[in-house]
Structure 1
Amino acid sequence: MDERELGFLGDPSLVRQLGALWGKSAAKAAGCMNLLICHLLDTAAVAEQIWDGYLAVSTQKLLDEVAGGPGRGRRFFAWLCGIHDCGKATPAFQRMDEAGARAVQEAGLTWVPKRQQRWQHDQAGGKLIRDVLSKAGWPEEQVSWIWPLVAGHHGRFPPAAKLNEPVSALGHLHGKGPAWRRAQSAVVEVLTRQLGFDSLEQVQPAKVPSRADQLHLSGLVVMADWIASDERHFDGIDDLKKASLEASRARAAKAWKRLGLRGGWGQLELPGPEAFQDRFGQVPRRSQLMVMDVARRMTGPGLLIVEAPMGEGKTNTSLLAAEILAARFGADGVFVGMPTQATSDPIFTQVRAWAGKVSPGLESQVALLHGKRRFNREWQTLLTEAGDRPDDMYGTIEEDALYEFSGFTAEEEPERLAPAEWFLGGKRGLLTPLVVGTIDQLLFAATRTKHVMLRMAGLAGKIVILDEVHAADVYMSQFLLEGLRWLGQARVPVILLSATLPPAQRRALTEAYLAGASWRQEAPAFDLPAPGGYPNVTAAWLEHGRPRVLVGNCTSWRKDLPVRVEVIPEFPRAKASKEAPEPIEEPYAEVVALLVDQLRDGGCALVIRNTVDRAQDTYEALCSHFRKSDVFLLHGRLHAAHRADRTEAALSRLGPSGSPRKRTILVATQLAEQSFDVDADILITDLAPIDLLLQRIGRLHRHDAVPRPERLRAPRVVITGFNASEARAPWILRDSEAIYGRYLLLRTAALVCAVDGSHWDIPGQVPALVAAVYGKEAVVPEAWAEEEEEAFAVWEEEQRGRAKSAEKFLLTRFAEYENTTLEGLHYAEAKGTDEVVHAIVRDGEPSVEVVIVYEDDDGYTSWKGGRLLGGGEVPPHLVDEVLGGTVRLPTKLTAAAEKELQPLAGWRGHPWLRHSRALRLQAGFGTRLDHFAVRYDVELGLVIDKTE
């Protein structure tokens, strides 16, 4: 950038000052200070790369509209990203590096040395750009949405009052006197002219984007800044003559190539009738054709709710529907949200196979995003073959701690099998072109947390698919509804999948999306007809500002299965006494006797319990009558390695097979309830609310081609965990009531008792059964009515309370849905670790993960017996083995764990273990936490007993 280019400044002193203002110190720019204007140009050049190689067509169209017409969005986007660090042109920032401060002062920009208050440069930038744009004549409505993107680029959007420098600083942090004002204006003007604008007036947008679009753009600004802050690709330039947009473009292009960054599938062609068979190797079923037809008939991006029975093929349906919506509305990828980590893993494999059919090589752009992905063999194999280091490294990188990490670059390995390493960094996962993870990723995007804009940027421009949405309780639903409001406002097509939804929940989901799409607190009035059949589909979107709704239904591809329903009454277990220290009766004797009888000729049984303790007890009772090799136990208190191995074994033993299967009994908790593709010949389950009970029944006789023993040819579900009669309200397991509440269990028990010894037609009766329990019609015997009324009052009060308790964490306060900017969005930020945020969206106390090690006279060993070094230091070859011993403690032990458990001394410098709490167990004994004895049993998992 020579003097001729800068002649418009009209003052040589300004040129000297521009050549002194620094943006990155030598320590953070590969040993050479990086000028502020150079970093701004680098970021703008990265933004151009993001536009060319990453942005969805829908986002490009949005930016064109904001900037004033086709072809204008790219340059405006580069300016928006480049201007982010203008607040560094202040004494508050420039004095922070001794060498840089000296050069700035020598150029004529001074400050009072004794003033030591801090003023964050992002907030200073918000004030600076607001003043500069206002002076340039921009209307207030345009200035008001631009400055929060600058002030919030470190992850939080402050209120306008926070922009003002500390009162006691007397103006010195922002810069006192005309010299600082001229220099600050010069920084903005030079960037503006370098990008090809004649003046700031020419930059002025033509329209104000929605708040959701602003949040999306803010996330992209952060993305550009983080890439341009990587000193491996953007080393320091301290000579103004070497700084130019052309030089920054060359640096950005080289960095983009080396990082291997890319978008998704680009602009898709609308898939034809043959696409489904091409993708999945089968002819589409009636319900799948119905959903695809509705997707083609939608005239705008909207909400698509698919309700179909278990085994109907909803996942494949949603993926093909996603292609249709992406082709029509310009989306460039997909996020698939599953209810649990365990259900995410098999869908990850499925989505990778589909992506490769959509576009060869696209399977390499699919990321698995959940806290236990390091134990997914497919994911780890992909990383290993790509040359990456163990996956947990990426979670340790923080934006405020240098931004970057060393390692793989795309030039070194052109045929990468996993997404670019950059996407694996902390908080960046959703930015990957295609993502499979837990629904928590979407719920997090609806919380007032730092860097929430990155989550929105990762969802906008994609098709969002959420499975098993019926599983969201009233508390989680507040975050789901909030997320749908923001996605609706951002015009993100959303596909929701469920076995069935209560009518009130279906309407609430639709209202939330349409309210967001219309930029209003409440949705415009619309009719939502009952689907009228099963499977069914409901579509809703805005057309010329007015809601449009399409509803369809058809018959299932499978005939109804007459599932026999039986009850094994259960009674409270006898309490121990001095005369009888142990209960006399065997509590699960009838269950054991039933399975001994039914599995005498072989077969596969699934037993689902509502608590871990109950599952462990059931497993032990069964092992006393069956070979241990035939009985499996799966629950959430197994450590990560055992859980992964047993999940794989369960899917193998109880999966579809054309030949007779080995006799198998799987005892599981609710892990087996959702998106768990096992096929049981007989099901025994604790009582649960009807929708969840039907989900469990969905694991029964799931596939037609499975050979079954003669006595198990007819599907049969046996329900226990309660006892009832028409003469009195039932006794129900206290733990079940603690989880689900008595009201829904009472109404479900009434339906179960009414059909005991007969059958339900599945899936045909599913909608009617769900509507009966969640509706207002009387379903319980008259003798239960008074208790039902009392239970309803308690349930209703709890529902209101839980919904209210979620409000303080939601991204938007109730009265702010019609705000037009992001100012003050983080007014009361939900702070904490990922575990705390997880607890926030799941309505639970924060729980703690620990790593099991065994302690003896010689030191420590892993759960598998591998010997650790002094102080517990982990040899490189044992890292995966040690991490495999990770287990989550129940919340009742959280306080004790946080107080008593710490990383081993040898872990404190380890990048993956330094934050991990060690659960030190004595062989054969375990340990004590609070008032509990804690041990790990190879068969049972973590066992927790109350001590005296």
Structure 2
Amino acid sequence: MDERELGFLQDPDVARQLGVLWGKSAAKAAGRVNLLMCHLLDTAAVAEQIWDRYLAPSTRTLLEEVAGGPGRGRRFFAWLCGIHDCGKATPAFQQMDEAGAQAVRQAGLTWMSTGQQRWRHDRAGGKLIRDVLSGAGWPEEQISWIWPLVAGHHGKFPPAGQLIEPVRARGHLHGKGPAWRRVQSAVVEVFTRELGFDGLKEVQPVQVPSRADQLHLSGLVVMADWIASDERHFPGVDDLRDVSLTASRERAGLAWEKLGLRGGWGMLGIPGDEAFGDRFGHGPRRSQELVMDAARRMAGPGLVIVEAPMGEGKTKTALMVAEILAARFGADGVFVGMPTQATSDPMFSQVRAWAAQVSPGLESQVALLHGKRRFNPEWQALLEDAGDCPDDIYGTVDEDALYGMSPSDDGEAPERRAPAEWFLGGKRGLLTPLVVGTIDQLLFAATRTKHVMLRMAGLAGKVVILDEVHAADVYMSRFLLEGLRWLGQARVPVVLLSATLPPAQRRALVDAYLAGAASREEPPALDLPTSGGYPNVTAVWLQEAEPHAILDDCASWRQDLPVRVEVRAEPSRAASEPEGGGTHADVAELLADRLRDGGCALVIRNTVDRAQDTYRALRARFGQADVFLLHGRLHAAHRADRTETVLARLGPSGKPRPRTIVVATQLAEQSFDVDADILITDLAPIDLLLQRIGRLHRHDGVPRPAPVGEPCVVITGFDPSGTRAPWILPASEAIYGRYLLLRTAALVCAADNRDWKIPGQVPELVAAVYGEKPVVPETWAQEERAAFAIWEEEQWARAKSAEKFLLTRFKEHENPTLEGLHYAETRGSDEIVQAIVRDGEPSVEVVIVHQDERGYTSWTGRRLGINGEAPPHLVDEVLGGTVRLPTKLAAAATSELQPLEGWRDHPWLRYSRTLTLDTHGRATLDRFMIRYDTDLGLVVDNPQ
């Protein structure tokens, strides 16, 4: 940047001062100070790379509209990203590094000593840009949405009142005197002119983007800043003569190539009728054609709700609909949210296979995003093939440690089969072009947490697919509905999948999306009748401020399956009988009869303790070879191995299968592709009960012994034998509440020894339980009314308790800017945030190790170092011993359990709490005796 380029400045001292204002200290810029002007231009140049090689077409269209028309969006976006650090042109920041501060003082910019008082440069930047833009004649409506993006670029949007300096240092932290004012204006002006604008007036946008679009753009600002803050690719430049946009563009281009960053599929063509067969190797079913047709008829980006039975092919439908909506509305990727980590893993494989058919090589841009992805063999193999250490963990990004990357990238990089390593850093995962993960990733985006803008930037520009949405209870639904509001306002196409939804829940989902699209507190009026058929599709969108809808249905591709319903009364006394007795022995006798000629059974219990007791009884009766136990208290390695075994034995097969009995908890409800000949299950609300029934006779062509040749579900866990309302297992009531269980029990008892037609009766059964019409016998009515009162109060309380964590506070959905969004922010680790969105105590995972007189061993018995040090070849094995503790032990585990001393310097193990078992495999925590049994998993005995 030579004198000619700075010639418009009237004061030569200002040009000299621009040459000393620093943006990165030598310690943060590879040993050499990086001038503030260089960092601003570097960030702008990175923004140009993001525009050219990453942004979705829909985002570029948005920026063109905001900036004033075609050809203006790219330069405006570069300015918006680059201006973020203007607040560093203040004494509050310039005094933070002694070497840099000395040069600034020598250039004539001084300040009063302010002791320990600090004024953050992000908030200083908010005030500075607001003042400068006001002086340039910008209207307030444009200034008011720009300054929060500057003030919030470290993750939190402050209220305007927090832009004011501390009273005792008023003027000295911001810059007292005309010299500081002149140089601050010059920083903005010189940067603006270097980007090719004639002045700030030319930068002024013509539209105010929606609040959701502002959040999206804010996330992109943070993304550009973090890339430009990587000292490996942007080392310090301390001579203003070496600073220019041309030089920054060269640095940014090289950095982008070195990091291997890229976007999604670009602009797709609308897939034709043959595309389904090209993607999946067979033609679409009628229900799949129905949904794709609805997507083609939508006149704008909107919400698509697909309700279809298990095995109908909803996932393939959703992926094809994502292609159609992306092609029509400019999306450049997909996020697929699943209910659990276990269901995310097979979906990851399926999405990669689909992506490869959409565009060769696109499968390399699919990320798996959940806390156990390091145990997914496919994910780990991809990273190892790409030359990365297995799933590096960057940790939390904070304001002074923004640049953490893996140690070395020297040499020729192999062709990557996994997303760029940069995307694997903390809080960046959703920025990957295609993502499969848990629904929590979307729920997190609806919380008032730091760096929430990165989550929105990762969702905007994609098509969002959420599976099993019926699994969201009233508390989780508050975050889901809040997320849908923001996605609706950001015009993000959303596809929701469910076996079936209660009509009220379907209506709430539609209303939330449309309210967001209309930027209103209340949704626009829309007549939305309930579809009479099943499977069905509901598609809604906003067109010229008016809501529109498509509702359609058709018959399922397979005939209804008559499922025999049997009630197996469980007397209340069974709950207190010894292990293996009572109801568990009764189940063993029942299965001995039904499986006398062989066959496969699935037993679903509502608690881990109950599943363990049932497993003991069945193992005693049938032997260990035929009986398997699956639940959430198995450690990671056991659970993965056992799940693989179960899927192999109970998967589709044209040959007779060995006798197999699987005892599982609720994790068998969702996306668990097993085929059982007979199902025994505890009573659960009707929608979850039907999900469990979906595992019965799931596949055609499976040979079945005569006693289990017809599908049958045996429902237990309650006792309806009296004249009054039934006794229901207390643990089940604690999980689901008595009200829905009573209404479900009424339908079950009415169907005892009769058939339910599945899936044809599914909507009818769900509507009966969740509707308002009487379904229980008159003798139960009084207890039902009492249970309803308790349920209603609990539902209200749980919904209310979510409000303090929601991204938008009550009655603030119509706010036009992000100002004050993080007033009273939600704080905490990812574990705490996950507990927040799931309505529970923070769950704690621990790594099991054993200790003897010689030191520590892994769960397999392999010897570790004297302080627990794990050599590289044993790290995965050690982490395979990770297990989740029951909630009642979370507080004690948090306060008492720590990583081993030898783990504190390891990038993965240092975050892992250790549960150290003695030579007998036991430990004591908060008066509870804990042991890990190879067959049973984690066993927690009640305190003596």
Which structure 2 residues correspond to residues 603-752 of structure 1 after superposition, within 5 A? 603-725=599-721, 727-752=723-748
Aligned partner of residue 814 in structure 1, secondary structure: coil
Aligned partner of residue 824 in structure 1, secondary structure: coil
Aligned partner of residue 292 in structure 2, secondary structure: helix
Segment of structure 1 superposing worse, 876-885 or 388-397: 388-397
Which structure 2 residues correspond to residues 780-795 of structure 1 after superposition, within 5 A? 780-795=776-791
8 Å contact from structure 1 (residues 397, 405) kept in 2: no
Task: Give, as a single letter, the amino acid of the residue that structure 2 aligns with 1:147.
Answer: W
Alignment partner of 2:868 out of 852, 872, 877 = 872
CA shift, 1:433, in A, is 0.1
Alignment partner of 2:911 out of 895, 901, 915 = 915
CA shift, 1:583, in A, is 7.6
Q: Which residue of 2 aligns with 1:335?
A: 335
The 2-side partners of 1:937 and 1:821 are apart by 55
The 1-side partners of 2:339 and 2:424 are apart by 22
Distance 1:4 1:506, change over 3 A: same
8 Å contact from structure 1 (residues 373, 379) kept in 2: yes
Distance 1:719 1:399, change over 3 A: farther
Q: Which residue of 2 aligns with 1:366?
A: 366
Q: Which residue of 2 aligns with 1:85?
A: 85
8 Å contact from structure 1 (residues 640, 887) kept in 2: yes
Distance 1:469 1:782, change over 3 A: same
Unmatched runs of 5 consecutive residues or more in structure 1: none
8 Å contact from structure 2 (residues 488, 516) kept in 1: yes
Aligned partner of residue 162 in structure 1, secondary structure: helix
8 Å contact from structure 1 (residues 564, 760) kept in 2: yes
CA shift, 1:390, in A, is 2.2
The 2-side partners of 1:884 and 1:589 are apart by 33
Does the alignment pair 1:222 with 2:218?
A: no
Q: Which residue of 1 aligns with 2:845?
A: 849
Does the alignment pair 1:197 with 2:193?
A: no
Distance 1:196 1:233, change over 3 A: same
The 1-side partners of 2:305 and 2:26 are apart by 54
Distance 1:433 1:538, change over 3 A: same
8 Å contact from structure 1 (residues 907, 913) kept in 2: yes
CA shift, 1:396, in A, is 5.5
CA shift, 1:826, in A, is 0.5
CA shift, 1:393, in A, is 2.3
The 2-side partners of 1:411 and 1:212 are apart by 41
TM-score normalised by L of structure 1: 0.98
8 Å contact from structure 2 (residues 579, 613) kept in 1: no
Aligned partner of residue 564 in structure 2, secondary structure: strand
Does the alignment pair 1:805 with 2:801?
A: yes
The 2-side partners of 1:281 and 1:930 are apart by 55
Which structure 2 residues correspond to residues 377-416 of structure 1 after superposition, within 5 A? 377-395=377-395, 398=398, 400-407=400-407, 412-416=412-416
The 1-side partners of 2:177 and 2:578 are apart by 84
The 2-side partners of 1:918 and 1:753 are apart by 47
8 Å contact from structure 1 (residues 25, 32) kept in 2: yes
Does the alignment pair 1:881 with 2:877?
A: yes
Distance 1:213 1:422, change over 3 A: same
8 Å contact from structure 2 (residues 580, 614) kept in 1: no
The 2-side partners of 1:575 and 1:100 are apart by 72
Does the alignment pair 1:901 with 2:900?
A: no
Distance 1:149 1:410, change over 3 A: farther
- Give a deviation string over 1:531-556, Cα, whole Å, max 9, x none: 11000000000011100011000000
CA shift, 1:569, in A, is 0.8
Q: Which residue of 2 aligns with 1:859?
A: 855
The 2-side partners of 1:598 and 1:734 are apart by 28
8 Å contact from structure 1 (residues 24, 236) kept in 2: yes
TM-score normalised by L of structure 2: 0.99
Aligned partner of residue 168 in structure 1, secondary structure: helix
Q: Which residue of 2 aligns with 1:137?
A: 137
Aligned length: 944
Aligned partner of residue 326 in structure 1, secondary structure: helix
CA shift, 1:505, in A, is 0.5
CA shift, 1:572, in A, is 2.2
Distance 1:928 1:231, change over 3 A: same
Q: Which residue of 2 aligns with 1:14?
A: 14
CA shift, 1:650, in A, is 1.4
Which structure 2 residues correspond to residues 87-166 of structure 1 after superposition, within 5 A? 87-166=87-166
Distance 1:253 1:935, change over 3 A: same
8 Å contact from structure 2 (residues 899, 910) kept in 1: yes
Q: Which residue of 2 aligns with 1:488?
A: 488
The 2-side partners of 1:396 and 1:519 are apart by 33
CA shift, 1:94, in A, is 0.3
Aligned partner of residue 624 in structure 1, secondary structure: helix
The 2-side partners of 1:432 and 1:585 are apart by 52
CA shift, 1:7, in A, is 0.3
Task: Give, as a single letter, the amino acid of the residue that structure 1 aligns with 2:184.
Answer: Q
Segment of structure 1 superposing worse, 594-603 or 479-488: 594-603
Q: Which residue of 2 aligns with 1:297?
A: 297
Q: Which residue of 1 aligns with 2:420?
A: 420
Distance 1:318 1:411, change over 3 A: farther
Q: Which residue of 2 aligns with 1:349?
A: 349
Q: Which residue of 2 aligns with 1:457?
A: 457
Segment of structure 1 superposing worse, 433-442 or 924-933: 924-933
The 2-side partners of 1:407 and 1:547 are apart by 52
Aligned partner of residue 284 in structure 1, secondary structure: coil
Q: Which residue of 1 aligns with 2:257?
A: 257
The 2-side partners of 1:168 and 1:399 are apart by 25
The 1-side partners of 2:123 and 2:917 are apart by 49
CA shift, 1:711, in A, is 2.0
CA shift, 1:575, in A, is 7.8
Aligned partner of residue 872 in structure 1, secondary structure: coil
Task: Give, as a single letter, the amino acid of the residue that structure 2 aligns with 1:736.
Answer: S
The 1-side partners of 2:106 and 2:117 are apart by 22
Unmatched runs of 5 consecutive residues or more in structure 2: none
The 2-side partners of 1:807 and 1:114 are apart by 39
Distance 1:574 1:586, change over 3 A: closer
8 Å contact from structure 2 (residues 603, 661) kept in 1: yes
Q: Which residue of 1 aligns with 2:36?
A: 36
CA shift, 1:399, in A, is 5.5
The 2-side partners of 1:537 and 1:191 are apart by 51
CA shift, 1:586, in A, is 3.5
Alignment partner of 2:931 out of 935, 939, 944 = 935
Task: Give, as a single letter, the amino acid of the residue that structure 1 aligns with 2:196.
Answer: G
Q: Determine what percentage of the aligned residue pairs are the same residue.
A: 77
Distance 1:861 1:181, change over 3 A: same
CA shift, 1:947, in A, is 2.1
Aligned partner of residue 303 in structure 2, secondary structure: strand
The 2-side partners of 1:866 and 1:392 are apart by 24
- Give a deviation string over 1:676-695, Cα, whole Å, max 9, x none: 11111111110000000000
The 1-side partners of 2:562 and 2:400 are apart by 60
8 Å contact from structure 2 (residues 580, 613) kept in 1: no
8 Å contact from structure 1 (residues 563, 762) kept in 2: yes
The 1-side partners of 2:505 and 2:932 are apart by 41
- Give a deviation string over 1:466-487, Cα, whole Å, max 9, x none: 0000110000000000000000
Task: Give, as a single letter, the amino acid of the residue that structure 1 aligns with 2:801.
Answer: S
Q: Which residue of 2 aligns with 1:272?
A: 272
The 1-side partners of 2:411 and 2:496 are apart by 39
The 1-side partners of 2:285 and 2:499 are apart by 16
Distance 1:582 1:566, change over 3 A: closer
CA shift, 1:398, in A, is 4.7
Q: Which residue of 1 aligns with 2:829?
A: 833
Does the alignment pair 1:817 with 2:828?
A: no
The 1-side partners of 2:642 and 2:475 are apart by 31
Aligned partner of residue 694 in structure 1, secondary structure: helix
